[in-house]
Amino acid sequence: MTKQEIEGNLLSPLPVVLVGAMVKGRPNYLVIGYISPFDFGKYIFFSLYKNRYTRIGIHENRTFSVNIPTEDLLAETEICGSKSGKSFDKGALFDTFYGELKTAPMIRQCPINMECEVKEILDYDPNDGIIGRVVKSYVTAHYLADGKLDWRKVHPIIWATGGDFNFYKLGPRISQKES
């Protein structure tokens, strides 16, 4: 098997998320593809380019939300990943709700939401590395089965790197854990 070197970080595909923050008193959402849970999911780490409008709110309030959009929110997701809150009101695309943190706007239409508090911001110019602690997680009741999240119902939007950069669907479940 011949190996060929290709460009890019190939830890992919991953679900795209909409990160939310309060900027100048309004909720704003952007698409983040470079994101990861760590410390067994207690924290979330993502990469935020420094000129993003959302960054203003994350630095000011030290809070943000992570929302997982579904395939039926593809059009809104594409808007959140291409238009900036500097010149477009992305908060108006969704119904926003708040949990424990009053400055971490979450998207009601997304089945999965997490509110996070910033623990650390790493300077990786021209990006920030944002580390947030997951304060609380929420799921729309419809996506639960026996009190657990049923991913077969969710239909997340999966994003691939490695030069592809397209969106995909999640495939069928191929294992069965004993409960």
Residues that bind ligand FMN (CB under 6 A): 16, 28, 30-34, 47-49, 52-54, 81-86, 159
User: Which residues are CB-contacts of 126 (< 8 A; sequence separation ≥ 6)?
Assistant: 49, 50, 51
Q: C-beta of 49: minimal distance to ligand FMN in Å?
A: 3
Least distance from ligand FMN to the Cβ atom of residue 13, Å: 11
Which residue number, 124 or 150, has a Cβ lying nearer to ligand FMN?
124
Contact 106/96 with Cβ under 8 angstroms?
yes
Smallest distance, ligand FMN to C-beta of residue 108, A? 19
How many other C-beta atoms lie within 10 A of the C-beta of residue 178? Answer: 3
Number of residue whose CB is nearest ligand FMN: 81
Look at phi and psi of residue 15 and say left if phi exceeds 0, alpha if psi is from -120 to 50, else beta.
beta
Our CB check for ligand FMN shows the closer of 34 and 168 to be 34
Compare residues 85 and 132 and give the one whose CB is closer to ligand FMN: 85
Instruction: Return the number of the residue (141 or 165) whose C-beta is nearest ligand FMN.
Output: 165
CA distance 90 to 77: 10
CB-based contacts of 1-8 (< 8 A; 24+ apart in sequence)? 6/162, 6/163, 7/163, 8/161, 8/162, 8/163
The least distance separating ligand FMN from the CB of residue 57, rounded to whole angstroms, comes to 9
Burial class, 40, CB count within 10 angstroms (exposed 0-12 / middle 13-18 / buried 19+) = exposed
Nearest distance from C-beta of residue 85 to ligand FMN, angstroms: 3
Minimum CB distance to ligand FMN smaller for 68 or for 141: 68
